[in-house]
A and B are shown apart, each in its own frame.
Chain A
Amino acid sequence: MNLSIDDVKKVAKLARLRLSPEEEQEFLGQLGDILGYIEMLNEVDTENVEPMAHIADVVNVFRSDEAQPSIDREKTLLNAPKTDGTYFLVPQILDGAE
């Protein structure tokens, strides 16, 4: 499996993971090994085989659209990294007046 350091950087970007240069190097080798092992799937003839996403018998689960109690604001914000007690606070994402 030929994985390049650029592939590693690109996937880290897609996955929104900030990696150190050491981590990038380490993953380059390890992911290459794992993908190399996974290549064995190519031996299997899967012509006309339907993909199987899960084994559940259930297909669509319907229920009546009734309001149910849910988690209140206080609990919802309990684990917020930054909050003013009403909202989740995030860094400014649009340019403009402070």
Chain B
Amino acid sequence: MSEQQTAQQLISQLNNQELSSRELVQQCLDRITSVDDSVKAFLEVNSESALQQADAIDQKRSAGESVGPLTGIPIAIKDNICVEGWKTSCSSKMLENFTSVYDAHVIENLKSAGAVLIGRVNLDEFAMGSSCENSAFQKTANPWNTDCAPGGSSGGSAAAVAAGMVPLSIGSDTGGSIRQPAAFCGVVGMKPTYGRVSRYGLVAFASSLDQIGPFAKNVSDAALLLESLWGHDRRDSTSVDIPAPSLVNQIDQPLAGLKVGIVSEHYSDGLDDEVHQAIQSAKETYQAQGAEIHEVELPHAKYGVAAYYIIAPSEASSNLSRYDGIHYGHRASSEEKMSLEDLYERSRGEGFGPEVKRRIMLGAYALSSGYYDAYYLKALKVRRLIAEDYQKAFEKVDVILSPTSPSPAFKLGELVDDPLQMYLNDIYTIGANLAGIPGISIPAGLSSQGLPIGIQLLAPVYEEEKLLRAARMYEKEHEHSLAVPSL
């Protein structure tokens, strides 16, 4: 496998028997061995089981049996998604020794699609963070410049694809955790509409915002992977039971009369000049293909980060109350006799890292007696106004074009002591989670510092097909997607 090859190029080689899945998996394992010492994307590589899965698929293929659309393609799994028999640590000491006892719905889907699960990749602890530095185990580096952050929380998933260690990976996105690392690492990352992909087997962070999605080298591969991830699942009661359109077949069809929305509030202080230029150039790319550019207003967008940092921590403080040291996860040990309350407090105090504690505290405060109306209820009302802004905007336009992140990748350590500045990195991505709409980040070239720039497209709920086709219209005119960092 050359690091530039897309999943679909590899699939055609596999189907033509020019390449076996075992050879492909071995090439990925070799690449991991040669570059992951400096990137540190993988928490664990399951070489033996990956080769066994590959052999099983190769045998099926030579016997003429159906091998599924992903037909022996290796994939990396963010370590907050359960794979039966694998550790699922969430990059937390709390779950350091936790072994999953069932497969997430997306893992069942990937296995039946013929993907080869190659290993689990790093994240900010419990998916809380924008730099991957909140992992309890290791700091992942940006493959384009190892002094820089890969973004987060799905930093390992983005870096593994960017460095050519795997053609595909999956992550989860609660406030931008797929799209921002995709932008920082120069790959495609997509958050589907809330409810499109089952959350069964995804370790819960903020249940009304969490959504699993694909990472890939280009838009077409992201579409291919999404076709295998989504679908109704009765075990997630927010999973929607609506038809899933075919994505890959239509992907190269340009959208006639496409209307692209631009939000003028996005281009104020704090936006990096080169990111701004990338947006200007994307506008021209669309115009050259006959698309119309329209200004739209999102008057409440500037309150997105504030509303999010009430809602997400409130849900997190409730979801993470399950880690009590009783049934699974870290339990404090002591020579002395402990009360049950001591056991809870000490187990949680020892097991959680600083960012997770900070968000639990913030959520517990916002939900506490006397503050619930002022914070939590207020934030939910603002959330509705934000969602309504998008609905109104999408009456005028098909997609909204924006930056993914205010700047290219920042340096590791740069924001680690300033949580509020770190949170403000999510300003362009958070709206999609609050409104439940799909969003995608696509590579838009390199900055003068040699760091990737990402641009984001958003579409109305359930309009993934439109979103991907619009993204593909830009991508076809640029070859940014297949650039590979030298490592």
Contacts and interface: CB of A to CB of B under 8 A. Distances in A.
User: A and B from one assembly?
Assistant: yes
Interface of A: 7-8, 11-12, 14-19, 23, 26-27, 30-31, 33-35, 37-38, 40-44, 46, 49-58, 61, 63, 71, 75-76, 78-82, 88, 90-93
B195 A44 contact: no
B337 A91 contact: yes
Given A11-B368, A17-B357, A38 B383 contact: no
13 contacts: A8-B361, A12-B361, A15-B361, A17-B345, A31-B365, A34-B309, A46-B381, A55-B194, A55-B387, A63-B234, A71-B101, A80-B327, A81-B325
Given A11-B365, A30-B419, A91-B338, A51 B327 contact: no
Given A23-B354, A79-B98, A53 B309 contact: no
A88 B343 CA distance: 14
A11 B194 contact: no
Contacts of A11: 361, 364-365, 368
A46 to B, nearest CB: 4
B306 A37 contact: yes
Given A18-B349, A31-B361, A46-B381, A55 B208 contact: yes
Interface residues of B, number: 71
Per DSSP, chain B at the interface is helix
Nearest to B305: A37
The 8 closest A-B pairs by CB, nearest first: A55-B436, A18-B349, A51-B380, A81-B331, A79-B328, A52-B384, A46-B381, A54-B208
A81 B420 contact: no
A37 B420 CA distance: 8
A41 B306 CA distance: 7
A18 B420 contact: no
Interface stretch (B371-379, B466-474, B476-484): B371-379
A81 B327 CA distance: 7
Contacts of B364: 11, 14-15
B380 A57 contact: no
A7 B238 CA distance: 35
B461 interface: yes
A75 B84 CA distance: 11
Interface string B318-333: 0001001111111100
Nearest to A48: B381
B357 A16 contact: no
Contacts of A35: 362, 365
